[in-house]
């Protein structure tokens, strides 16, 4: 769905994007992670033909960009750098104009497309309100609605939950999961690790313009070989497991060099209470920090 090779962008002496090779496959929910200023938005703009690359190749939906943008972009929904809208018009009127500007969409079904997009993002009840009265979160929803107008095969989103409250973030997450379930591939640029970890199947990490990591999330979070134990009797468990505990924090122990079944047997035999026992997996935060050169690269 998205393939880049040697993708590079320079602004004078500044190397904003450096030899990036993206591999976004059909059916992915791909999380494109990086700090603000790492080159994510520049990369997204190059993918969509909004900025020309200094060098490198881009394919979207199997076609070269930007050379075949006219054929590709009608099948791509996008929200980049926040939504643009006419403040003196209603949300519905803004989407109607956007739909009318697109090529190939039948006019007779325009109202249905606009209403469906508004309902999907939770703006159906305020569709007639002028956009200048919308909050930042409502404007973000309107931008998402515009991206959904054509029922795209590929959805490219740059920080789509910006300005949303926790309920709004949850609703956008459910919306994207629903679209993915109906066959839409999602490319999500974000600096929010928690959102990506809950939503994405595959991730790429950008650090100061370079793609330093790209893999299936499940692969990156495979068990480490250690076991996590939670017990209100943590001190006693630590003493019992003499030398096997690598980390102790509150009621949580990370135990090495002992099989989970044997570990459970020893704790139970000693009369210790167990609230959790299972394999340790790395969090996405740990994965990203290990791949980047500066630890405060992205926010949890």
Q: Which residues contact 66 (CB under 8 A, 6 or more apart)?
A: 49, 52, 58
CA-nearest of 215, 259, 181 to 22 is 215
Rounded to whole angstroms, the Cα distance separating 93 from 78 reads: 19
Q: Classify domain 2-220 at the CATH topology level.
A: Rossmann fold (3.40.50)
Q: Which two tokens stand for residue 120?
A: 């999907």
What's the gap between Cα 104 and its chain centre? 30
**H or E element, residue 236:** helix 234-240
State the helix-helix crossing angle for 110-120 and 136-148, rounded to 10 degrees: 130
Domains 2-220 and 224-281 share a fold: no
Rounded to whole angstroms, the Cα distance separating 217 from 204 reads: 9
Q: Which two tokens stand for residue 118?
A: 């508004």
Where in the chain are the domains?
A: 2-220, 224-281
Which class is 224-281 in CATH? alpha beta
66: cis peptide before it, omega within 30°? yes
200 burial via Cβ count (<10 Å: 0-12, 13-18, 19+): buried
pLDDT at 100: 87
Rounded to whole angstroms, the Cα distance separating 179 from 120 reads: 10
Q: pLDDT 10s per residue in the chain (300 long)?
A: 999 999 999 999 999 999 999 999 999 999 999 988 899 999 999 999 999 999 999 999 999 999 999 999 999 999 987 777 899 999 999 999 988 887 667 788 899 999 999 998 889 999 999 999 998 888 888 998 999 998 899 999 998 888 788 888 888 888 899 889 989 999 999 988 988 999 999 999 999 999 999 999 999 999 999 999 999 999 999 999 989 999 999 999 999 999 999 999 999 999 999 999 999 999 999 899 989 865 443 433
pLDDT at 165: 84
pLDDT at 293: 64
The 3-state secondary structure of 23-80 reads: EECCCCEEEEECCCCCCHHHHHHHHCCCCCCCEEEEEECCEEECCCHHHHHHHEEEEC
Whole-structure pTM value: 0.84
pLDDT at 239: 96
Cβ 200 vs Cβ 217: under 8 Å = yes
Residue appearing with tokens 């090529």: 103
């Amino acid at each position: 769905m998205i393939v880049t090779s040697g993708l590079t962008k320079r602004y004078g002496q500044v190397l904003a994007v450096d030899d990036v090779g993206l591999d976004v496959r059909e059916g992915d929910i791909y999380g494109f992670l990086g700090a603000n200023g790492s080159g994510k938005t520049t990369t997204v703009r190059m993918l969509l033909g909004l900025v020309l690359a200094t060098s490198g190749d881009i394919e979207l939906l199997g076609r070269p960009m930007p050379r075949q943008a006219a054929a590709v972009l009608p099948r791509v929904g996008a929200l980049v750098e926040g939504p643009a809208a006419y403040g003196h018009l209603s949300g519905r009127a803004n989407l109607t104009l956007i739909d009318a500007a697109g090529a190939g969409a039948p006019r007779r079904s325009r109202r249905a497309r606009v209403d469906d997009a508004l309902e999907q993002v939770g703006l159906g009840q305020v569709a007639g309100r002028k956009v200048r009265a919308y909050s930042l979160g409502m404007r973000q929803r309107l931008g998402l609605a515009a991206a959904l107008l054509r029922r795209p095969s590929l959805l490219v989103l740059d920080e789509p939950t910006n300005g949303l409250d926790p309920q709004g973030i949850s609703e956008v997450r459910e919306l994207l999961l629903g679209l993915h379930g109906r066959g839409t591939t999602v490319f999500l640029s974000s600096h929010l690790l928690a959102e990506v970890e809950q939503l994405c199947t595959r991730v790429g990490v950008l650090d100061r313009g370079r793609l330093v990591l790209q893999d299936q999330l499940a692969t990156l979070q495979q068990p480490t070989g250690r076991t996590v134990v939670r017990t209100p009797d943590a001190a006693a468990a630590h003493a019992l497991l003499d030398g096997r505990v690598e980390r102790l924090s509150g009621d949580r122990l990370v135990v090495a060099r002992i099989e989970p079944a044997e570990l459970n047997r020893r704790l139970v035999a000693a009369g210790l209470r167990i609230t959790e026992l299972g394999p340790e997996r790395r969090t996405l935060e740990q994965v990203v920090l290990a791949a980047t050169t500066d630890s405060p690269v992205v926010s949890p």
